[in-house]
Structure 1
Amino acid sequence: MAGHCEREEAISCLVREAKEEAGLIIEPSAAELVHLVHLVDSPGARPRIQLVFQAHSWSGAPEIREPERCVEWRWWRPQDLPAEVVPYTRQAIDGILGGRPYSAMGW
């Protein structure tokens, strides 16, 4: 899941977005920042920073709450991801697996 911080701390954004997009309850203390992706999507676009958190625990079962943006929730081994993964998400997963806390795309 992904979202924009709305004049809120990043952890608060994670907690809010998890509930809004997937129906999951995450306690702030259960989340850890594991990667940062600094990207430019296209020439002339404003750079963005994607903060990637790992939730060590949560309550609830994932639900599709934004069907116009997400068609299903599935669990994958990182090595077996399908081709249709959002590029910056794939970049973050590769960085995490490689032990790198930072990666850049599109520069």
Structure 2
Amino acid sequence: MNQRPTDADPVTLVVGVHLVLTDSSGAILLGLRRNTTYAENRWHLPAGHMQPGERITASMCREADEELGIAVAEEDLVLVHTLHHLDADDGRSRIQLFFRPTRYRGQIRNAEPDKCWELRWWPPAGLPATTVPYTAHALGEIARGSTLSTVGWSA
């Protein structure tokens, strides 16, 4: 029997995890997306979605390994920003979590060349115009020291 959601049902959110890696000059690592259903040919942080039964921090560590070939321990992740994002494309409410690793092991490389054209370091004040809009927003908020913001919601 199918039951329709009611106003009393809890909200179901998509949870995204994003890795904010900076080099010694403060430049931020972005990847140019390819062969994806979202943000094709746009610059974005290494990121992904939490899978069922997975801890948020485990999800971020998995994505770091899959996309960059680096090992990040869960205890080495610092949550630097939370973004509540209303996606204009599909109308879904998303929580985007942005983590900065205090350390990692391995050499950063493009571990998913089928999904990423290239990786490049960008100065925070010089992000490319084709950066995913909510990513650019979150990076600006992080630079200002803000830990929480929203995008896509009417005022």
Report what 1:81 is aligned to: 127
> Aligned partners of 1:94, 1:43: CA distance in 2, in Å?
22
| Aligned match for 1:18, one of 58, 64, 67 | 64
> Aligned partners of 2:87, 2:115: CA distance in 1, in Å?
18
Cα distance change on mapping 1:44 and 1:85 into 2, 3 Å: closer
More helix by proportion, 1 or 2?
1
Unaligned 5+ segments in structure 2 are 1-45
Aligned-residue RMSD, C-alpha: 1.4
Query: Which has more radius of gyration?
Result: 2
AA aligned to 2:50 is C
**CA-CA distance at 1:67 after TM superposition:** 2.4
Matches for 1:1-80 after TM superposition, within 5 Å = 1-6=46-51, 7-42=53-88, 45-80=91-126
Q: Number of residues paired by the alignment?
A: 107
Runs of 4 or more off by more than 6 Å in structure 1?
Answer: none
| Aligned match for 2:150, one of 91, 104, 107 | 104
AA aligned to 2:79 is L
Identical-pair percentage: 40
More strand by proportion, 1 or 2?
2
The alignment's TM-score, normalised by the length of structure 1, stands at: 0.91
**CA-CA distance at 1:70 after TM superposition:** 1.5
The alignment's TM-score, normalised by the length of structure 2, stands at: 0.64
AA aligned to 2:71 is I
